Amino acid sequence: MSYYRAVAPAPSATPERIGVLLINLGTPDSPSYFAVRRFLREFLSDRRVIDAPPWIWLPVLHGLVLPLRPARTARKYRRIWMQDGSPLAVYSTRLALKLAARLREAEGDRLRVALAMTYGDPGIESAIQALAEQNVKRLLVLPLYPQYSSSTTGAAFDRTARALARWRWLPETRFVSDYHADAGFLDAVAARIDGHWQRAGGRSHLLFSYHGIPLASVKRGDPYQAQAEATTRALAARLSLETGSWSHCYQSRFGPAAWLQPSTEDTVRRLAKAGTRKLTVVCPSFAVDCLETLEEVAIDYRAQFQAQGGGELCLVPALNDDERHVDVLEALIRDHLQGWP
């Protein structure tokens, strides 16, 4: 049996196409203990996510984390689960469908869009296979992470390369590493924040909360912190924010290692104790809302803010499947497709 395999051929009359593969992190199939356990096992076994020797980490993962953490995480998922499924999956799917419709309207049958998850379903390998069966000969991979991190964008690249590793005929492939400084993205997020404030009746202290990563990753060359800070500066400038009216921090710490500081949790408590009555939180590292925004920020941090004497904490929704988000991705795709027939 040959090591390298051919992709199932498309029908003979099928024209050559360009495929656009959107990638998000992934999510459990249901808010149950065993579904969450399956997801966490795959997610936390990736060395891009936990950069520790397997002989050290895997006994901890299987002996401590996987027996205990899924029950707590499943309860959190149940608090935000939508009728159609996990918010990350629901919003990502809606976004991909809207983007596909937009590109089909503009380009006809030339482009095909697929959605995949780095962990869980739909998987990257099956998504690329489906595109190949539609005679996709050129592939643009667009991870839905505005800021590059080894643990997210890097993991998506690894899984894409692994999916293609044994193909006999490889598609010409381009990979979008980040779009943290893209003007369309920044304008869309700024408009989202401004629209929230208009509906709320005025501005309040703005907290920029990004998913954290271990400090060691930055010291080893990960550009995530620099890109996150650049995004915050650009948004603060677009919104004409005054010094002292905003804060920048990092959430979702996991494990005992030192992570990027300041933490969102500590910042929320500090602002409450300092007398901040109203707090607006935006999470520019998340393309769509998910557990970390809808539960961690909008429920957990809100409760902590109020427990420390604060008043109202409001989450600015992610861009999700908003038409302006479709505009952003369409423009990014067009930029990266230049030169391809």
Query: How far apart, in Å, are the Cα atoms of 71 and each of 36, 45, 65, 214, 265?
Result: 8, 18, 10, 25, 22
Q: Which amino acid is at 20?
A: V
The Cα–Cα gap between 317 and 300 comes to 16
pLDDT score for 244: 95
Domain ranges of the chain: 33-80, 183-315
Please provide the distance, in angstroms rounded to a whole number, between the alpha carbons at the two ends of the chain.
Answer: 36
Sheet holding 111-117, edge to edge: 111-117, 17-24, 136-143, 172-175
Residue by residue, DSSP assigns 298-321 as IIIIHHHHHHTT--EEEEPPP-TT
pLDDT score for 1: 66
Q: What is the CATH architecture of 183-315? A: 3-Layer(aba) Sandwich (3.40)
Query: How far apart, in Å, are the Cα atoms of 286 and each of 52, 91, 105, 298, 309?
Result: 25, 12, 27, 14, 28
Rounded average pLDDT per 10-residue block, the chain, 341 residues? 75 86 98 98 97 94 96 98 97 98 93 97 96 95 98 98 93 97 98 97 97 97 98 98 97 92 97 96 98 98 97 97 98 96 80
Buried b (16+ CB within 10 A) or exposed e, 56-87: ebeeebeeebbeebbeebbebbeebbeeeebb
pLDDT score for 5: 80
pLDDT score for 49: 96
- Report yes or no: 132 and 11 within 8 Å, Cβ to Cβ: no
The Cα–Cα gap between 236 and 246 comes to 8
